[in-house]
């Protein structure tokens, strides 16, 4: 009987492993595109702006933006904490500087250049954040959008001419967005088929961009008809002369505000493409 070989319990000897070749570090265009698709468009735009600002700063000082040294990045962060920006008239807030650092590292990784060390730069940022906090500067606190309160919602609805198609659409954008706690981009991406009628009101399927998941929001009838999202949706669909759930977008486009959403009346709009579908 042949004796069994002892089972190896430790890590493999590196000398016995095959060496990596160039192909092991190669990414196809399809894989690169798939990686890019995993980053929200708004983040890509912000990173592009941050990178352009960094590259321009480097050009003015004769420094190389890529591959950037740790010293260059540290000097840049020091600059951002001290020099007022053209847009606000004051130095950038810590979250904006964090994003700039992320943009620099991301651009290096996308170009297959080793990302620069940011340990010293982050110490500069930590000191800046502490100075702001000790000075009770609002920039030291995370910025959050103020939620719409019922009184503000009613005031916005009062400005609409709900006898018009545009007014009906704006009312749905406000009421449905409020009821679903949806971002404008999430609201703009809704298909009419994503809004299903139930015996209790509506069931709205929303793709949450922040968590990259679909969620379902049950929307009941409101007690006041003028602020009822269910009645507003039905009113809009009737005005659009649509059946309950045909294919197509609820709105043609969004330019960043609820009032810019416009119903797809009289023409077919492309259906939203869900991940994996």
Q: How far is 57 from 177, CA to CA, in rounded Å?
A: 40
State which of 140, 164, 196 marks the end of a domain.
140
Is 273's pLDDT higher than 50?
Answer: no
Measured CA distances, 84 to 80, 87, 211, 212 (Å): 8, 8, 34, 35
Residues 134 and 162 in one domain: no
The DSSP letter of residue 140 is G
What pLDDT score does 183 carry? 81
In a domain, 145, yes or no: no
Q: Are 229 and 174 within 8 A, CB to CB?
A: no
Average pLDDT of the chain? Answer: 79
In a domain, 12, yes or no: no
Residues 37 and 130 in one domain: yes
pLDDT in tens, 228-243: 999 998 888 888 775 5
Q: How far is 136 from 172, CA to CA, in rounded Å?
A: 40
State which of 109, 140, 171 marks the end of a domain.
140
In a domain, 273, yes or no: no
In a domain, 124, yes or no: yes
Q: How far is 130 from 119, CA to CA, in rounded Å?
A: 17
Range of the structural domain that residue 37 is part of: 29-140
Q: Where are the beta strands (DSSP E) in 122-232?
A: 195-198, 201-208, 213-220
Residues 117 and 180 in one domain: no
Measured CA distances, 101 to 76, 85, 146, 234, 268 (Å): 10, 16, 27, 47, 42
Q: How far is 70 from 36, CA to CA, in rounded Å?
A: 26
Least confident window among 67-76, 92-101, 176-185: 176-185
Residues 104 and 73 in one domain: yes
117-121, 133-137, 161-165 — most confident range: 117-121
pLDDT in tens, 8-60: 566 666 667 777 787 887 878 888 788 777 777 888 899 999 999 999 999 99
Pick the closest to residue 263 from 194, 190, 203 (CA basis).
190
Number of structural domains the chain divides into: 2
State which of 112, 140, 168 marks the end of a domain.
140
Pick the closest to residue 232 from 152, 150, 141, 168 (CA basis).
168
Q: Are 91 and 82 within 8 A, CB to CB?
A: yes
């Amino acid at each position: 009987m042949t004796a069994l070989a002892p089972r190896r319990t430790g890590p493999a000897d590196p000398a016995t492993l095959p060496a990596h070749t160039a192909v092991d570090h190669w990414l196809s265009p399809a894989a690169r595109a798939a990686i890019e698709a995993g980053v929200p468009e708004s983040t890509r735009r912000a990173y592009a702006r941050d990178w352009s600002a960094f590259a321009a700063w480097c050009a003015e000082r004769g420094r190389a933006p890529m591959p950037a040294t740790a010293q260059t990045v540290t000097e840049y962060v020091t600059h951002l904490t001290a020099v007022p920006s053209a847009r606000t008239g004051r130095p950038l807030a810590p979250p904006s500087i964090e994003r700039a650092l992320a943009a620099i590292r991301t651009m290096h990784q996308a170009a297959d250049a080793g990302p620069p060390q940011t340990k010293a730069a982050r110490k500069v940022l930590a000191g800046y954040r502490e100075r702001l906090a000790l000075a009770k500067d609002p920039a030291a606190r995370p910025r959050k959008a103020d939620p719409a309160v019922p009184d503000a919602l009613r005031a916005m609805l009062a400005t609409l001419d709900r006898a018009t198609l545009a007014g009906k659409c704006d009312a749905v954008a406000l009421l449905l967005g409020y009821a679903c706690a949806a971002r404008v981009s999430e609201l703009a991406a809704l298909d009419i088929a994503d809004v299903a009628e139930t015996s209790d009101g509506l069931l709205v399927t929303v793709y949450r961009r922040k968590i990259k998941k679909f969620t379902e929001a049950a929307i009941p009838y409101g007690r006041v008809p003028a602020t009822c999202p269910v009645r507003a949706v039905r009113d809009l669909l009737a005005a659009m002369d649509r059946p309950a759930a045909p294919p197509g977008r609820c709105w043609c486009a969004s330019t960043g505000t609820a009032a810019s959403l416009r119903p797809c009346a009289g023409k077919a709009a492309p259906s939203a493409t869900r991940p994996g579908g």
